[in-house]
Amino acid sequence: MLETKFPRVHGDIGNAMTWNFPVMMKCVKGASLDLVVNKRADGLLDAFVEAGLDLVAQGADGITTSCGFMSLYQQELADQLPVPVASSSLLQVCLVNRLLGQGKRAGVITVKKPPCPTITSRPWGSPWTPPSWA
């Protein structure tokens, strides 16, 4: 998880009450909103891998992150962690686009409009159809 101060309401991935099973959470030191959102999490990959390995050592059997901008590192995290990794719900955009009728596409609400580095780098696979923005 990022080091944030905003409330994690029920339904947020960062609120343990969201889940109907036990979860473990770990904040990644130095992972500020500014560094992750505006600077592409530059220099933080190793810290996220270390946090993931720590959670696995404690018994985690899957890893996810609390920020869509970490989808930039989906492949690297999946390669370096011994359990399944879902860096972002944005991984589902291509699937959702395929489920929608012709001429329809997924919409994404984000903290930062394009050119958002996560969106423009196409980390979710193909075929790529840009989402609608709000």
Over residues 68-109, the pLDDT tens digits come to 777 888 889 999 999 999 988 888 887 888 898 888 888 877
**Which residues of 16-106 form beta strands (DSSP E)?**
63-64, 85-86
Hey, what are 90's tokens? 């944005």
- CB-CB neighbours of 65 under 10 Å: 27
Average pLDDT, integer, range 103-128? 61
Contacts of 22 (CB under 8 A, 6+ apart): none
pLDDT of residue 61 exceeding 50, the answer is yes
Q: What is the residue extent of each domain of the chain?
A: 16-89, 91-133
Alpha carbons 71 and 86: distance in angstroms, whole number: 8
Burial 93-130 (b: 16+ CB within 10 A, else e): bbeebeeeeeeeebebebeeeeebbbbeeebbeeeeee
pLDDT of residue 21 exceeding 70, the answer is yes
64 strand-pairing partners: 86
Determine the pLDDT at residue 118.
47
Task: Supply the mean pLDDT for the chain.
Answer: 79
Of the pLDDT bands very low, low, confident and very high (cuts 50, 70, 90), residue 130 is low
